[in-house]
Structure 1
Amino acid sequence: MIDDTTGQEPAAGPLRSSFDRYLQDKGKGRGGEGGNYRRNAARELDRFAEWAAGERGDDDWTGITPEADRDPTFEDLDERVFREYARHLSGDRGLKQNTVQTYYAYISAWCGWCVNEGYLEAHYAQRASATAPLPDDDGRKPGDQQAWTPEQRHALTRYVDAQAREAIEAYTTLPDDVDPLDKQRARYAALKAARDRALVVVLAYTAVRVGELLRDSDDPRRRGVRWEDIDLEDGSMDVYRKKQQWDAASLPDPVISPLRSYRKLMDPPTERWPVFPTLDQRTLAELVQEELADRGEPSEAIDERRGEYARDLLLTLDEDIRPPSITTDGARSILQRLSTAAEIDIDHPKHDYLAPHGGRRGMGEVLVRAFGYTVAARYLDNSEEMVRERYSHIEAGELGDVATEALEEIDSVPQ
């Protein structure tokens, strides 16, 4: 059949034959190999292909070609297939309604791309009959509702500050005749505590997205903020924004002192060093061995050199072997550890720790209440419309106060 809108005949072939090209078009970075969207879309496309082949779903589900001994092709797709998939996602699988909407959206986007590329003759996934089984969207984004309260923020920042002060004092007050390895252990402990404190205050007070601050293994452009990106005198930090461009983020006063103390303690060999390097021992060990081998060091000499240090991180500093930044997942692990250690009371259906995005959202609450939506939007690097939508509960509460005041005033008037 020839498509009336494109003049092309829909392509034949298995569904998976289009996946790599689609993901490359949607990916970020060199060759379209990076990006969270690409990773999530790849996962959902694989699930859709498995479902279509009968490898996913109820026990009695045999796929969309039950009588044919072959993989499903584009010729097998129509709006009834997408309707069945919407019904499959909406089934009793423990998925929230917005999650169902999100998962279906990945498949729908691929379907639309297939129309443009000539694989399909129509956007079946968006037809009313196909989307009918999907649950209503309640307007909330799954997992993105936590906001650090002022009490939680103060508890966490107080805890990491106390830990950093104690570790730094323990290192800087060591006697001159202390064993060199003991001194290295104390320095490492101080560096780790200072790094954790710096990370917490940046997340708590700058409202920078964690993906803009740290390394994203799926996006090569997000390599983590470096010391060359930070200006402590001007109070600014260059980050690669969500809108795919570099921009300056503000560093308020509570962030400056912890960063300055941390930098002095680290004394990075170059400005290109990551502000938040990984401390994963296996990663650093492999990095040191590979780098020193590339410099011509024999394996025996490398082992001997590593033996002089309590931790490979200290060797990387002395030899200017630049480690990678921690990842966004690494930041979540750090915050899980710190939230538990600080014994912070957390009541949230999804997170049992203070998640990174909660720091940004909590700062947004503070800014909206103090300065309004326009100022908050500029600080959060969002549109005012989006900020109003995300923080609509604040305006609703304020309007409720106004209504209460008006009612009290009317009720006080003698009848």
Structure 2
Amino acid sequence: MSDPEDRTLLASSFDRYLQDKGKGRGGDGGNYRRNVERELHRFAEWATGDRGDDDWNGITPDEGHDEPAFEDLDEGAFREYARHLSSDRGLKQNTVKTYYAYISAWCGWCVNEGHLQSHYAQRASATAPLPEDDGRKPGDQQAWTPEQRHKLTRHVDQQAREAIESYEKAPSVDTAAADKQRARYRALKATRDRALVFLIAYTAVRVGELLRDPDDPRRRGVRWEDLNLEDGGMDVYRKKQQWDTASLPDPVIHPLKQYRKMLKPPTDRWPVFPTFDQRTLGILVQEELADRGLQPAAVEDRRDEFVRDLLLALEDDIRPNSITTDGARSILRRLTDDAGVDVDHPRHEYLAPHGGRRGMGEVLVRSFGYTVAARYLDNSEEMVRERYSHIEAGELGDVATEALNEIDG
């Protein structure tokens, strides 16, 4: 055994790793960071001998070194941890694999940082005790729960209400014109966020049908001319390569109307969700104003009249592109963190767009059955039955229980 002072403890790497994986200034934010931090400390406790069975003493061979170090790790240690996670502790198979994946990712980082010589956690002998792959694709399985949906929609609704109120109270005199513009921009962003979240949460429309896909010119993002807020319909270009009308349920109508009132699109050909990216809009307005005959100095003077180029684009009807599907994912990552929504998923540490669609599918299948859900989701009934087979399995289990109760009773 080496001198204790020469040992590099596992815990000494945690802060740096979490900083690399975190979001925001200093890497302090993000649901993924929080989940990983929790599992790293659980792993350290287990490695010390504090979280195993009664006969588990940890991975350190010498009782004088209770704190585990990198030299104590090998594939055998990770195999034991996989066995520990897979033991009968009430964890679902996917949860076991998720927790192990957190530790495995840290192990890979440690190899890159020079703390470990090999990625022991990925070796076949280490992963052997983990549950076998059930054939499902984890990335396709996220579904927003009612609690997650409620927490996110309540958050964006509150943010929008407060931003609108601040804008309406902002003075309109010339000396405060810039403050009024800033208040409007904040209200635009908040009402945009709310409208987008409510559409994803309640319409079950695919995000690729709602927003722009840079690789497919036919998917340019919905425009205001595609929406009929009075009748509750929205024209979208479906996955099946044709236009169709999607339903707009009551919860999304008010957010869309308030957002439109705040946006005041110059024409109905404007995208419902224009890009807010300052760099993209800056280039757009400069090029468009130049094409309209303004000299560079005049262009800059015009831009100086507005605190944001988006407000200038709205004023002069310079139509930007819709945000992209990747842009929507970035927005949802930010909003998931801001709302403090807990997400435990192997591939998505935030409420992903497809999770909103799948969550709405759960509601429809449970409430109205597979046929109605298939129509709303724009899928075949066979596919809906396959994707939501767990619901039918649970219902059949209830039927079997009832039948047994009748026989036994």
Scaled to the shorter chain, the TM-score interval is 0.5 to 0.7
Q: How does 1:320-335 map to 2 (within 5 A)?
A: 320-335=317-332
Per-residue CA deviation, residues 267-291 of structure 1 (Å, 9 max, x unaligned), is 1000000001110000000000111
Distance across 1 between alignment mates of 2:291 and 2:138: 46
Aligned to 2:148: 152
Instruction: Using the TM superposition, give the Cα deviation of residue 192 of structure 1 relative to its aligned residue in structure 2, in angstroms.
Output: 0.3
Q: Report the secondary structure of 1:179's partner residue.
A: helix
Aligned pair partner of 1:162 in 127, 148, 158: 158
Instruction: Using the TM superposition, give the Cα deviation of residue 174 of structure 1 relative to its aligned residue in structure 2, in angstroms.
Output: 1.6
Distance across 2 between alignment mates of 1:197 and 1:282: 23
Unaligned runs of 5+ in 2: 1-100, 102-131
- Give the AA of the match of 1:378: R
Aligned to 2:273: 276
**Is 2:187 the counterpart of 1:190?**
yes
Per-residue CA deviation, residues 47-97 of structure 1 (Å, 9 max, x unaligned), is xxxxxxxxxxxxxxxxxxxxxxxxxxxxxxxxxxxxxxxxxxxxxxx9xxx
Distance across 1 between alignment mates of 2:159 and 2:172: 23
Aligned to 1:15: none
Instruction: Using the TM superposition, give the Cα deviation of residue 138 of structure 1 relative to its aligned residue in structure 2, in angstroms.
Output: 4.7
Q: Report the secondary structure of 2:245's partner residue.
A: strand
Per-residue CA deviation, residues 8-40 of structure 1 (Å, 9 max, x unaligned), is xxxxxxxxxxxxxxxxxxxxxxxxxxxxxxxxx
Distance across 2 between alignment mates of 1:246 and 1:140: 30
Per-residue CA deviation, residues 173-225 of structure 1 (Å, 9 max, x unaligned), is 22333611110000000000000000000000000000000000110110000
Aligned pair partner of 2:374 in 362, 377, 393: 377
Aligned to 2:169: 173
Distance across 1 between alignment mates of 2:306 and 2:374: 47
Distance across 1 between alignment mates of 2:338 and 2:218: 33
**Aligned Cα root-mean-square deviation (Å):** 1.3
**Is 2:243 the counterpart of 1:246?**
yes
Q: How does 1:217-296 map to 2 (within 5 A)?
A: 217-296=214-293
Distance across 1 between alignment mates of 2:345 and 2:305: 46
Aligned to 1:67: none
Length-normalised TM-score, structure 2: 0.67
**Is 2:405 the counterpart of 1:408?**
yes
Distance across 2 between alignment mates of 1:173 and 1:309: 19
Q: Report the secondary structure of 2:320's partner residue.
A: coil
Per-residue CA deviation, residues 224-255 of structure 1 (Å, 9 max, x unaligned), is 00000000000000000000000000000000
Q: Does the aligned pair in 1 maintain the 2:206–2:357 contact within 8 Å?
A: yes
Aligned pair partner of 1:340 in 334, 337, 340: 337
For these two proteins, the number of residue pairs brought into alignment is 278
Distance across 2 between alignment mates of 1:235 and 1:337: 29
Aligned to 1:99: none
Instruction: Using the TM superposition, give the Cα deviation of residue 142 of structure 1 relative to its aligned residue in structure 2, in angstroms.
Output: 4.5
Q: How does 1:15-414 map to 2 (within 5 A)?
A: 138-177=134-173, 179-412=176-409
Instruction: Using the TM superposition, give the Cα deviation of residue 137 of structure 1 relative to its aligned residue in structure 2, in angstroms.
Output: 8.6
Q: Which stretch of structure 1 is more off in the superposition, 239-248 or 289-298?
A: 289-298
Distance across 2 between alignment mates of 1:156 and 1:214: 20
Instruction: Using the TM superposition, give the Cα deviation of residue 141 of structure 1 relative to its aligned residue in structure 2, in angstroms.
Output: 3.4
Moved over 2 A (4+): 136-142, 175-178
Per-residue CA deviation, residues 302-350 of structure 1 (Å, 9 max, x unaligned), is 1111011000000000000001111000000000000000000111111
Per-residue CA deviation, residues 90-134 of structure 1 (Å, 9 max, x unaligned), is xxxx9xxxxxxxxxxxxxxxxxxxxxxxxxxxxxxxxxxxxxxxx
Unaligned runs of 5+ in 1: 1-93, 95-135
Distance across 2 between alignment mates of 1:278 and 1:196: 12
Distance across 2 between alignment mates of 1:272 and 1:138: 46
Distance across 2 between alignment mates of 1:289 and 1:186: 24
Aligned to 2:111: none
Length-normalised TM-score, structure 1: 0.66
Q: Report the secondary structure of 2:276's partner residue.
A: coil
Instruction: Using the TM superposition, give the Cα deviation of residue 140 of structure 1 relative to its aligned residue in structure 2, in angstroms.
Output: 2.4
